[in-house]
Protein backbone atom coordinates (compact mmCIF):
# COMPACT_ATOMS: atom_id res chain seq x y z
CA UNK A 1 0.00 0.00 0.00
CA UNK A 2 1.44 3.37 -0.89
CA UNK A 3 0.17 6.87 -1.41
CA UNK A 4 1.69 9.73 -3.37
CA UNK A 5 0.27 12.80 -1.65
CA UNK A 6 0.35 16.23 -3.33
CA UNK A 7 -1.02 19.61 -2.25
CA UNK A 8 -0.07 22.36 -4.67
CA UNK A 9 -0.63 25.45 -2.55
CA UNK A 10 0.28 28.42 -4.73
CA UNK A 11 -2.56 30.87 -4.05
CA UNK A 12 -5.29 31.50 -1.47
CA UNK A 13 -7.77 29.13 -3.13
CA UNK A 14 -5.41 26.18 -3.27
CA UNK A 15 -3.98 26.91 0.20
CA UNK A 16 -7.46 26.63 1.69
CA UNK A 17 -8.12 23.19 0.23
CA UNK A 18 -4.55 21.94 0.73
CA UNK A 19 -4.43 23.05 4.36
CA UNK A 20 -7.81 21.50 5.05
CA UNK A 21 -6.63 18.18 3.61
CA UNK A 22 -3.45 18.36 5.67
CA UNK A 23 -5.40 18.94 8.89
CA UNK A 24 -8.21 16.48 8.30
CA UNK A 25 -7.07 13.81 5.87
CA UNK A 26 -3.30 13.51 5.99
CA UNK A 27 -3.02 12.33 9.59
CA UNK A 28 -5.51 9.54 8.87
CA UNK A 29 -3.38 8.10 6.07
CA UNK A 30 0.15 9.36 6.80
CA UNK A 31 1.63 5.98 7.65
CA UNK A 32 0.96 4.87 4.09
CA UNK A 33 2.22 8.03 2.42
CA UNK A 34 5.46 7.22 0.65
CA UNK A 35 5.96 10.55 -1.05
CA UNK A 36 4.59 13.92 -0.06
CA UNK A 37 4.84 17.05 -2.19
CA UNK A 38 3.56 20.32 -0.79
CA UNK A 39 3.83 24.03 -1.55
CA UNK A 40 7.20 24.81 -3.17
CA UNK A 41 8.14 21.12 -2.99
CA UNK A 42 5.27 20.29 -5.32
CA UNK A 43 7.25 20.56 -8.54
CA UNK A 44 6.43 18.65 -11.71
CA UNK A 45 9.85 17.02 -12.05
CA UNK A 46 9.89 15.80 -8.43
CA UNK A 47 6.33 14.51 -8.61
CA UNK A 48 7.03 12.66 -11.87
CA UNK A 49 10.14 11.12 -10.34
CA UNK A 50 8.08 10.00 -7.37
CA UNK A 51 5.54 8.39 -9.67
CA UNK A 52 8.27 6.51 -11.50
CA UNK A 53 9.65 5.01 -8.32
CA UNK A 54 6.35 4.16 -6.59
CA UNK A 55 4.39 1.39 -8.21
CA UNK A 56 0.76 0.47 -7.53
CA UNK A 57 0.09 3.64 -5.59
CA UNK A 58 -2.82 5.95 -4.97
CA UNK A 59 -1.98 9.36 -6.44
CA UNK A 60 -4.00 12.00 -4.56
CA UNK A 61 -3.67 15.65 -5.54
CA UNK A 62 -5.18 18.99 -4.59
CA UNK A 63 -4.56 22.20 -6.49
CA UNK A 64 -5.93 24.07 -9.46
CA UNK A 65 -7.22 21.95 -12.28
CA UNK A 66 -7.97 22.68 -15.91
CA UNK A 67 -9.79 20.65 -18.55
CA UNK A 68 -6.54 19.35 -20.02
CA UNK A 69 -3.86 19.65 -17.34
CA UNK A 70 -2.81 20.18 -13.75
CA UNK A 71 -0.08 22.59 -12.68
CA UNK A 72 2.69 22.41 -10.11
CA UNK A 73 3.69 25.08 -7.58
CA UNK A 74 5.52 27.08 -10.24
CA UNK A 75 2.64 26.75 -12.76
CA UNK A 76 4.51 24.19 -14.86
CA UNK A 77 2.26 21.45 -16.16
CA UNK A 78 2.61 18.19 -14.23
CA UNK A 79 0.39 16.15 -16.54
CA UNK A 80 -1.25 17.26 -19.76
CA UNK A 81 -3.84 15.53 -21.93
CA UNK A 82 -1.46 15.70 -24.89
CA UNK A 83 1.40 13.95 -23.05
CA UNK A 84 1.96 10.55 -24.62
CA UNK A 85 3.97 9.16 -21.73
CA UNK A 86 1.33 9.27 -19.00
CA UNK A 87 1.50 5.50 -18.76
CA UNK A 88 5.07 5.60 -17.49
CA UNK A 89 3.97 7.65 -14.48
CA UNK A 90 0.39 6.57 -13.86
CA UNK A 91 0.05 3.22 -15.57
CA UNK A 92 -0.32 1.27 -12.34
CA UNK A 93 -2.05 3.86 -10.21
CA UNK A 94 -5.41 5.05 -9.03
CA UNK A 95 -5.57 8.82 -9.50
CA UNK A 96 -7.61 11.23 -7.40
CA UNK A 97 -7.55 14.90 -8.42
CA UNK A 98 -9.30 17.15 -5.93
CA UNK A 99 -9.31 19.93 -8.47
CA UNK A 100 -11.67 21.76 -10.81
CA UNK A 101 -12.37 20.54 -14.36
CA UNK A 102 -9.62 17.90 -14.78
CA UNK A 103 -12.23 15.13 -14.91
CA UNK A 104 -13.35 16.48 -18.25
CA UNK A 105 -10.45 15.59 -20.56
CA UNK A 106 -7.33 14.87 -18.52
CA UNK A 107 -8.89 12.10 -16.41
CA UNK A 108 -10.18 10.00 -19.33
CA UNK A 109 -6.83 10.47 -21.10
CA UNK A 110 -4.99 9.17 -18.04
CA UNK A 111 -7.27 6.13 -18.05
CA UNK A 112 -6.85 5.55 -21.78
CA UNK A 113 -3.08 5.46 -21.17
CA UNK A 114 -3.33 2.87 -18.43
CA UNK A 115 -4.25 4.58 -15.15
CA UNK A 116 -6.38 2.00 -13.33
CA UNK A 117 -9.12 4.31 -12.08
CA UNK A 118 -9.70 8.05 -11.99
CA UNK A 119 -11.60 10.25 -9.55
CA UNK A 120 -12.07 13.99 -10.00
CA UNK A 121 -14.42 16.79 -11.03
CA UNK A 122 -15.54 17.99 -14.46
CA UNK A 123 -16.65 21.44 -13.26
CA UNK A 124 -15.67 24.00 -10.63
CA UNK A 125 -15.24 22.50 -7.18
CA UNK A 126 -17.12 24.88 -4.90
CA UNK A 127 -16.46 25.42 -1.20
CA UNK A 128 -17.31 28.04 1.44
CA UNK A 129 -14.82 30.87 1.95
CA UNK A 130 -13.32 31.30 5.42
CA UNK A 131 -14.86 34.79 5.69
CA UNK A 132 -18.36 33.32 5.70
CA UNK A 133 -19.97 32.88 9.14
CA UNK A 134 -20.99 29.40 7.94
CA UNK A 135 -17.40 28.44 7.06
CA UNK A 136 -17.60 25.39 9.32
CA UNK A 137 -19.85 23.85 6.64
CA UNK A 138 -16.71 23.26 4.59
CA UNK A 139 -16.42 19.88 6.30
CA UNK A 140 -19.52 18.73 4.38
CA UNK A 141 -17.94 19.84 1.10
CA UNK A 142 -14.68 18.03 1.83
CA UNK A 143 -16.02 14.85 3.44
CA UNK A 144 -16.80 12.91 0.22
CA UNK A 145 -13.21 13.19 -1.09
CA UNK A 146 -11.84 12.45 2.37
CA UNK A 147 -13.91 9.28 2.59
CA UNK A 148 -12.87 8.32 -0.91
CA UNK A 149 -9.15 8.51 -0.14
CA UNK A 150 -9.49 6.74 3.21
CA UNK A 151 -11.51 3.90 1.70
CA UNK A 152 -9.16 3.44 -1.25
CA UNK A 153 -6.35 3.38 1.29
CA UNK A 154 -8.28 0.67 3.17
CA UNK A 155 -8.10 -1.39 0.01
CA UNK A 156 -11.70 -1.34 -1.19
CA UNK A 157 -12.42 -1.35 -4.92
CA UNK A 158 -12.84 1.83 -6.93
CA UNK A 159 -16.55 1.03 -7.27
CA UNK A 160 -17.06 0.67 -3.52
CA UNK A 161 -15.04 3.79 -2.72
CA UNK A 162 -17.08 5.76 -5.28
CA UNK A 163 -20.33 4.55 -3.75
CA UNK A 164 -19.17 5.55 -0.29
CA UNK A 165 -18.20 9.02 -1.52
CA UNK A 166 -21.61 9.39 -3.18
CA UNK A 167 -23.28 8.34 0.06
CA UNK A 168 -21.27 11.05 1.81
CA UNK A 169 -22.53 13.53 -0.77
CA UNK A 170 -26.12 12.61 0.05
CA UNK A 171 -25.39 13.04 3.78
CA UNK A 172 -23.74 16.38 3.10
CA UNK A 173 -26.68 17.58 1.00
CA UNK A 174 -29.02 16.68 3.81
CA UNK A 175 -26.87 18.48 6.36
CA UNK A 176 -26.51 21.65 4.28
CA UNK A 177 -30.24 21.69 3.45
CA UNK A 178 -31.09 21.48 7.13
CA UNK A 179 -28.48 23.83 8.54
CA UNK A 180 -27.58 26.57 6.07
CA UNK A 181 -29.57 29.71 5.30
CA UNK A 182 -27.31 30.34 2.28
CA UNK A 183 -29.39 29.23 -0.69
CA UNK A 184 -26.32 29.14 -2.95
CA UNK A 185 -24.60 26.58 -0.68
CA UNK A 186 -27.62 24.30 -1.21
CA UNK A 187 -26.85 24.45 -4.93
CA UNK A 188 -23.04 24.19 -4.60
CA UNK A 189 -23.05 20.88 -2.78
CA UNK A 190 -25.33 19.41 -5.45
CA UNK A 191 -23.14 20.82 -8.22
CA UNK A 192 -20.08 19.19 -6.64
CA UNK A 193 -21.90 15.85 -6.44
CA UNK A 194 -22.99 16.10 -10.07
CA UNK A 195 -19.47 17.00 -11.22
CA UNK A 196 -17.87 14.09 -9.37
CA UNK A 197 -16.22 11.71 -11.88
CA UNK A 198 -15.61 8.05 -10.99
CA UNK A 199 -15.55 4.63 -12.64
CA UNK A 200 -19.17 3.83 -11.69
CA UNK A 201 -20.28 6.83 -13.71
CA UNK A 202 -18.53 5.94 -16.95
CA UNK A 203 -15.98 3.39 -18.08
CA UNK A 204 -13.82 6.27 -19.35
CA UNK A 205 -12.94 6.77 -15.67
CA UNK A 206 -11.44 3.32 -15.41
CA UNK A 207 -11.88 -0.05 -13.83
CA UNK A 208 -14.51 -0.45 -11.11
CA UNK A 209 -12.61 -3.39 -9.62
CA UNK A 210 -9.30 -1.52 -9.30
CA UNK A 211 -7.65 -1.39 -5.87
CA UNK A 212 -4.27 -0.31 -4.55
CA UNK A 213 -3.81 -3.50 -2.59
CA UNK A 214 -2.32 -5.31 -5.54
CA UNK A 215 1.26 -4.42 -4.68
CA UNK A 216 1.08 -6.04 -1.24
CA UNK B 1 -37.01 4.26 19.57
CA UNK B 2 -39.43 6.70 17.95
CA UNK B 3 -39.13 7.08 14.20
CA UNK B 4 -37.63 10.46 13.39
CA UNK B 5 -39.95 12.47 11.20
CA UNK B 6 -38.35 13.73 8.00
CA UNK B 7 -38.37 17.50 7.64
CA UNK B 8 -40.86 18.54 4.93
CA UNK B 9 -39.10 19.80 1.79
CA UNK B 10 -40.66 23.28 2.00
CA UNK B 11 -39.21 23.71 5.50
CA UNK B 12 -35.73 23.44 3.99
CA UNK B 13 -36.24 26.69 2.07
CA UNK B 14 -34.00 29.37 3.65
CA UNK B 15 -36.07 32.21 5.11
CA UNK B 16 -34.94 35.00 2.82
CA UNK B 17 -35.59 32.92 -0.31
CA UNK B 18 -39.34 33.47 0.16
CA UNK B 19 -38.96 37.18 -0.57
CA UNK B 20 -36.63 36.85 -3.54
CA UNK B 21 -37.73 37.11 -7.16
CA UNK B 22 -38.20 33.88 -9.07
CA UNK B 23 -39.52 35.72 -12.11
CA UNK B 24 -40.30 39.16 -13.48
CA UNK B 25 -43.83 39.83 -14.77
CA UNK B 26 -44.79 41.72 -17.95
CA UNK B 27 -44.88 45.00 -15.99
CA UNK B 28 -41.32 44.47 -14.82
CA UNK B 29 -42.39 43.62 -11.27
CA UNK B 30 -40.71 40.86 -9.31
CA UNK B 31 -42.65 37.68 -8.60
CA UNK B 32 -41.36 36.23 -5.35
CA UNK B 33 -41.38 32.64 -4.20
CA UNK B 34 -44.07 33.64 -1.70
CA UNK B 35 -46.22 35.11 -4.51
CA UNK B 36 -45.81 31.87 -6.41
CA UNK B 37 -46.79 29.84 -3.36
CA UNK B 38 -49.91 31.94 -2.73
CA UNK B 39 -51.04 31.82 -6.34
CA UNK B 40 -49.93 28.33 -7.20
CA UNK B 41 -53.41 26.82 -7.22
CA UNK B 42 -54.61 29.33 -9.77
CA UNK B 43 -51.56 28.62 -11.91
CA UNK B 44 -51.40 32.30 -12.80
CA UNK B 45 -47.63 32.43 -12.67
CA UNK B 46 -45.89 30.41 -15.33
CA UNK B 47 -42.52 29.28 -14.04
CA UNK B 48 -39.84 28.76 -16.67
CA UNK B 49 -36.82 30.63 -15.40
CA UNK B 50 -34.45 28.86 -17.77
CA UNK B 51 -36.44 29.65 -20.89
CA UNK B 52 -36.47 33.43 -20.48
CA UNK B 53 -34.23 35.66 -22.64
CA UNK B 54 -30.62 36.25 -21.57
CA UNK B 55 -31.27 39.91 -20.71
CA UNK B 56 -34.15 38.92 -18.43
CA UNK B 57 -32.00 36.24 -16.77
CA UNK B 58 -29.40 38.88 -15.96
CA UNK B 59 -32.08 41.24 -14.63
CA UNK B 60 -33.57 38.46 -12.50
CA UNK B 61 -30.18 37.42 -11.07
CA UNK B 62 -29.29 41.02 -10.21
CA UNK B 63 -32.69 41.59 -8.59
CA UNK B 64 -32.14 38.54 -6.38
CA UNK B 65 -28.57 39.45 -5.48
CA UNK B 66 -29.56 43.00 -4.56
CA UNK B 67 -32.17 41.67 -2.13
CA UNK B 68 -30.64 38.49 -0.72
CA UNK B 69 -29.56 38.60 2.93
CA UNK B 70 -27.78 35.25 3.13
CA UNK B 71 -25.41 34.79 0.22
CA UNK B 72 -22.73 32.28 1.09
CA UNK B 73 -19.24 33.62 0.42
CA UNK B 74 -17.22 31.27 -1.76
CA UNK B 75 -14.12 30.97 -3.91
CA UNK B 76 -14.15 31.02 -7.67
CA UNK B 77 -10.91 30.15 -9.49
CA UNK B 78 -9.57 33.17 -11.29
CA UNK B 79 -11.53 35.56 -9.08
CA UNK B 80 -10.87 34.49 -5.51
CA UNK B 81 -13.41 35.54 -2.89
CA UNK B 82 -16.93 36.05 -4.19
CA UNK B 83 -19.50 37.65 -1.90
CA UNK B 84 -22.83 39.23 -2.82
CA UNK B 85 -21.27 42.57 -3.84
CA UNK B 86 -18.61 40.88 -5.96
CA UNK B 87 -21.20 38.71 -7.68
CA UNK B 88 -23.24 41.82 -8.58
CA UNK B 89 -20.10 43.53 -9.90
CA UNK B 90 -19.08 40.53 -12.04
CA UNK B 91 -22.55 40.23 -13.55
CA UNK B 92 -22.90 43.96 -14.23
CA UNK B 93 -19.58 44.12 -16.05
CA UNK B 94 -20.43 40.97 -18.06
CA UNK B 95 -17.24 39.30 -16.88
CA UNK B 96 -16.39 35.77 -18.02
CA UNK B 97 -17.88 34.50 -14.74
CA UNK B 98 -21.21 36.31 -15.16
CA UNK B 99 -22.82 33.41 -16.99
CA UNK B 100 -22.04 30.99 -14.16
CA UNK B 101 -23.25 33.41 -11.47
CA UNK B 102 -26.54 34.01 -13.34
CA UNK B 103 -26.95 30.26 -13.83
CA UNK B 104 -26.36 29.77 -10.11
CA UNK B 105 -29.32 32.04 -9.34
CA UNK B 106 -31.52 30.15 -11.82
CA UNK B 107 -30.50 26.84 -10.24
CA UNK B 108 -31.32 28.24 -6.79
CA UNK B 109 -34.77 29.28 -8.03
CA UNK B 110 -35.28 25.85 -9.55
CA UNK B 111 -34.34 24.07 -6.31
CA UNK B 112 -36.61 26.26 -4.17
CA UNK B 113 -39.60 25.85 -6.51
CA UNK B 114 -38.96 22.10 -6.60
CA UNK B 115 -39.15 22.04 -2.80
CA UNK B 116 -42.33 24.06 -2.82
CA UNK B 117 -43.94 21.66 -5.26
CA UNK B 118 -42.68 18.56 -3.48
CA UNK B 119 -45.29 16.24 -1.98
CA UNK B 120 -42.84 15.25 0.79
How does residue B28 score in pLDDT terms, banded at 50, 70 and 90?
confident
pLDDT band of A216, cuts 50, 70, 90: very low
Closest CA of chain A from B94, distance in Å: 19
Cβ of residue A75 closer than 8 Å to a chain B Cβ: no
- Bridge-based pairing of strands A117-121 and A94-98 is parallel
Instruction: Find all residues with CB under 8 Å of A60, minimum gap 6, and list them.
Output: A3, A4, A5, A6, A96, A98, A149
State the Cα–Cα distance between residues A140 and A193, nearest whole angstrom. 11
Q: Is B15 on the interface with A (CB under 8 A)?
A: yes
pLDDT at B46 over 90: no
d(CA A160, CA A57): 18
Interface touch B74/A184, C-beta < 8 Å: yes
Beta strands in A63-154 (DSSP E): 69-71, 77-80, 94-98, 117-121
Residue B78 touches chain A, beta carbons under 8 Å: no
Task: Give me the DSSP letters along A163-190.
Answer: HHHHHHHHHHHHHHHHH---HHHHHHHH
B85 touches chain A (CB under 8 A): no
Q: Which of A135, A103, A128, A138 is nearest to A117 (CA)?
A: A103
Between A59 and B77, the more confident residue is: A59
User: Comparing A187 with B36, which gets the higher pLDDT?
Assistant: A187
- Residue A209: CB partners within 8 Å, gap ≥ 6? A157, A158, A159
**What average pLDDT does the segment B76-90 reach?**
93
Q: Are B100 and B86 in contact (CB under 8 A)?
A: no
With an 8 Å Cβ cutoff, is B101 touching chain A?
A: no
pLDDT at B39: 80
Bigger pLDDT: B23 vs A202 = A202
- State whether residue A154 sits within 8 Å of chain B by CB: no
- Calculate the alpha carbon distances from B41 to A122, A135, A156, B36 in Å: 40, 39, 51, 9
Percent of all residues in chain B with a pLDDT value above 70, rounded to a whole number = 87
Which structural domains are found in chain A, ordered by start? 3-205 (3.40.50)
Average pLDDT over residues A37-60: 93
* Mean pLDDT confidence for B13-33: 89
Under DSSP, the state recorded for A139 is H
User: Beta-carbon neighbour count of residue A45 at 10 Å?
Assistant: 10
Residue A98, min C-alpha distance to chain B (Å)? 14
The answer to whether A178 contacts B12, with C-beta atoms less than 8 Å apart, is: yes
Instruction: Quick: pLDDT tens for A96-149.
Output: 999 999 999 999 999 999 999 999 999 999 999 999 999 999 999 999 999 999
Residue of B nearest to A101 (CA): B77
Distances (CA, A) of A161 to A42, A70, A138, B23: 26, 23, 21, 41
Contact A186 B70 (CB under 8 A): no
Amino acid sequence: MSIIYIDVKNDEDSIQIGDYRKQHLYYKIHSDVVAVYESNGALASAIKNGCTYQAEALFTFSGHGHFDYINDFGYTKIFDKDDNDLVSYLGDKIVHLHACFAGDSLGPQMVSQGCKAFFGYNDYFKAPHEDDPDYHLISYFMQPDETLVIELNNGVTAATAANMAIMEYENSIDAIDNSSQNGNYHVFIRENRDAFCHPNRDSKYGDKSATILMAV
Amino acid sequence: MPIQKKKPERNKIPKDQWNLAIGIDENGDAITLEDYDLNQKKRIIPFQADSIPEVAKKQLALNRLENVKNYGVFRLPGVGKVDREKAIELIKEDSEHAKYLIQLELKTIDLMVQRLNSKE
